[in-house]
């Protein structure tokens, strides 16, 4: 499955229009269309915003992605970019854990009253 096919799959599964996803990811509609039609690959920043808008980690999104024969036969992301993606995923996970811990403490305090 190509990057474009996966974007379409997630977008349609969420019941989102191209316009809605583009707005949520802060990219233009034509830009999203190019990604979905595999005419362009998203830059790292745009890819991060797309994944966030879809509600999925970048690592999870990239599972089973292949580079279409029509697209350049280079790596989709460099090793350095993949390390940034992994770091961002770790940061987001850490922030979520902190938020959950704070909520648990708040609930525990409420229960003690």
Q: What is the pTM of this model?
A: 0.58
Distance in Å from the first CA to the final CA of the chain: 54
| CATH superfamily, domain at 3-112 | lambda repressor-like DNA-binding domains (1.10.260.40)
Per-residue confidence (pLDDT) for residue 89, from 0 to 100: 81
- Residues 6 or more apart whose CB falls under 8 angstroms from that of 77 comprise 44, 62, 85
Write the secondary structure of the chain as one string of H (helix), E (strand) and C (coil): CCHHHHHHHHHHHCCCCHHHHHHHHCCCHHHHHHHHCCCCCCCHHHHHHHHHHHCCCHHHHHCCCCCCCCCCCCCCCCHHHHHHHHHHHHHHHHHHHHHHHHHHHHHHHHHHC
Per-residue confidence (pLDDT) for residue 113, from 0 to 100: 80
* Domain boundaries of the chain, sorted by first residue: 3-112
Helices 44-54 and 18-25, axial angle in degrees (round to 10): 120
Residue 57 backbone class (left: φ over 0; alpha: ψ -120 to 50; beta: rest) = beta
Summarize pLDDT for 49-100 with one digit per residue, the tens. 999 999 988 888 887 676 544 444 455 677 777 778 888 888 888 888 888 8
């Amino acid at each position: 499955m190509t990057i474009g096919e996966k974007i379409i799959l997630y977008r349609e599964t969420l019941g989102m229009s191209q316009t809605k996803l583009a707005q949520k990811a802060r990219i233009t509609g034509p830009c999203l269309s190019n990604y979905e039609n595999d005419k362009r690959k998203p830059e790292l920043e745009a890819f991060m915003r797309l994944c966030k808008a879809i509600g999925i980690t970048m690592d999870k999104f990239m599972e089973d992605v292949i580079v279409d024969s029509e697209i350049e036969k280079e790596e989709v992301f460099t090793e350095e970019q993949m390390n940034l993606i992994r770091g961002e995923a770790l940061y987001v996970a850490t922030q979520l854990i902190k938020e959950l811990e704070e909520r648990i403490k708040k609930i525990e305090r409420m229960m003690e009253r």
